Amino acid sequence: MDQPPNQNPQPNQSGTGQPQPPPPFSCTYSPNIPELLQQMNVSLAISTYQAGKVILISPKNRDELVQLPRNFAKPMGIAVKKNKMAVAELDEVVILTNAPGLAKDYPRQPGIYDAFYTPRAAYFTGVLDLHDLEWGKKGLYAVNTQFSCLSLITEDYNFEPIWKPPFISELKPEDRCHLNGVALKDGKPRYTTALSATDSSQGWRENKATGGVLIDIDLNEIILEGLPMPHSPRIYNEQLLLLLSGTGELVRVNPKTRKYDILKSLNGFVRGMDCYGDYLFIGLSKLRTTSKAFQDLPISQKSVFAGIMVLYLPSVSIVGYIKYETSVDEIYDVRIIQGTVRPGLLSTMKPEYKMAITLPGFDYWAVPENKNPAK
C-alpha cells in the first residue's frame, strides 16, 4: 500500500500523553522535491537490504511525495532500462517489466498508477552477494562480490564470469577484494571499484578504510588506489564520477592523469547514485554502531541519517533532500525511473503477482478461483 511520507511530522499523543513514534518509513523532505520530480516526470527507486525493501518514491502532487515499499530478500543492485527493472536479491536476480495496462485496473488501488512493474523472470544465482547491476550490450552485468569478478546473468549458469581484477588469482567464493561497483561506457563495462587489491579470503577487511581501488577494465590496470571505500562509479556526460563512502565525498576522476577532484563533501556514508539531466541523486546511509565493517570509519560519526541528497551538477550545489525518520538506516542503490510519476510495483514475496497476466498488446488481472462466480 502507498505510504505518504510526513513532510513535517508532529509527535502523536497517546491516551497517557506520551509522544508516540512516527509510523514505519516516515520521512521528511525539502519542499521543492515533489515539484522537481513532477517536472522531470520521474520517480525514484531505492534498495535497502537492511530493511529488506525496494521503495518507489513519487510525487503525489507538487507539494507531497508518496512512497511504495515492497518486500525483497536482501535487495542490493537495481538496474533500470526502458520498461524493465532488475533487482539483485539474496540468491536470485528478479526481472520486472512495466505493464501499463495493469496499472489502471490494479484491484487494490484502481486508477492510481501510471505504470506497473511485475515480476516476469527470476535467475537462480545462488548466494553470490551481487552488488551493482547494469544492462549493457551483452545483457545484464552483475558485480559478483563473493567470487571477486564481473559476471553476466544468464539462464545457462548460476553466473558467467567475464572478467576478474588482475590481482585476483582464481575464482573462489571468498570475497577477496570486495568488488562492488561497475560503470559502463558505450554499453560495455569500463571501470570497477573494490575496497582493496587483496587476493586472500576476506582480505579487504584489514585495510578497508583506505585500501580502495578503481580499475580500468580495458587496460586491466588499477588507475587509482588508496581510496576510502569507493562505490557507485558512473559515467555521465563523458565524466567519470565516483562516491568515496568512507569520507562522504563525490569525486570526478580524470582517467588520463589518474587523479580526481572532490566535487562535494556530504555528511554521510554515500552509496548509490543516478543522474537525470543536470540533477544528481545520491544515497546516504546511517551507519550502524554494531557494524563490524563500518563502525570504525571516521565518517560514522557524521552519518546521522539515511536518505537521498539531490545535487545540481553545473554548480555542484545541494538543492534538496529526502530524510528517513524511521525504518531505513542503510541504502545501497538509487535509480531513476523515467516517464512515470506514480509507478506500481509487486515483488515475488506475496502470491498477488501471479494474478498479473501480460501478453503483447493486452494486460489483465486474473480472478482468483475462490472469487470466480462460475465456480
Q: What pLDDT, on the 0 to 100 scale, is given for residue 302?
A: 75
| Spatial separation of the C-alpha atoms in residues 16 and 18, rounded to whole Å | 5
How do beta strands 115-123 and 343-345 pair? Answer: parallel
Q: What pLDDT, on the 0 to 100 scale, is given for residue 355?
A: 95
- 335 burial level (CB within 10 Å; 0-12, 13-18, 19+): buried
DSSP, residue by residue, 18-78: PEEPPPTT-EEE-TTHHHHHHHHTEEEEEEETTTTEEEEEEESSSS-EEEEEEE-SS---E
Residues above pLDDT 70, as percent of the chain? 90
> Which of the residue ranges 124-128, 188-192, 366-370 would you say has the lowest mean pLDDT?
366-370
Residues above pLDDT 90, as percent of the chain? 85
Q: What pLDDT, on the 0 to 100 scale, is given for residue 18?
A: 67
pLDDT one-digit tens code per residue, 94-114: 999 999 999 999 999 999 999
What is the rounded average pLDDT of the residues 247-275? 96
Element (DSSP H or E) covering residue 188:
strand 188-194
pLDDT grade for 369, boundaries at 50, 70 and 90:
low
Secondary structure (3-state) at 101: helix
Confidence check: pLDDT of 9 > 70: no
Q: What share of the chain is helix, strand, coil (3-state, %, to 5)?
A: 10, 45, 45
pLDDT grade for 299, boundaries at 50, 70 and 90:
confident
> Which of the residue ranges 15-19, 239-243, 297-301 would you say has the lowest mean pLDDT?
15-19
DSSP, residue by residue, 216-275: ETTTTEEEEEEESSEEEEEEETTEEEEEETTTTEEEEEETTTTEEEEEEE-SSEEEEEEE
Q: What pLDDT, on the 0 to 100 scale, is given for residue 290?
A: 59
Domains, the chain, with CATH or none: 21-371 (2.120.10.30)
> How far is residue 307 from each of residues 30, 66, 135, 224, measured CA to CA in Å?
12, 15, 25, 28
pTM: 0.92
Cα–Cα nearest to 208, from 280, 142, 287, 272 = 287
Confidence check: pLDDT of 372 > 70: no
Q: What pLDDT, on the 0 to 100 scale, is given for residue 2?
A: 63
What is the rounded average pLDDT of the residues 189-195? 98
Query: Residues with Cβ < 8 Å from 334, sequence gap 6 or more?
Result: 44, 45, 46, 272, 273, 274, 281, 282, 283, 308
Per the prediction, the chain carries an average pLDDT of: 92
> Which of the residue ranges 117-121, 128-132, 276-280, 371-375 would you say has the lowest mean pLDDT?
371-375
| Spatial separation of the C-alpha atoms in residues 274 and 290, rounded to whole Å | 29
Confidence check: pLDDT of 371 > 80: no
Q: Indicate if the alpha-carbon torsion angle 189, 194, 197, 198 is positive or negative.
A: negative
pLDDT grade for 373, boundaries at 50, 70 and 90:
very low
SS (H, E, C) 341-366: CCEEECCCCCHHHHHEEEECCEEEEC
Q: What pLDDT, on the 0 to 100 scale, is given for residue 66?
A: 97
Whether 53 and 11 have beta carbons less than 8 Å apart is answered as: no
What is the rounded average pLDDT of the residues 219-224? 98
Q: What pLDDT, on the 0 to 100 scale, is given for residue 288?
A: 64
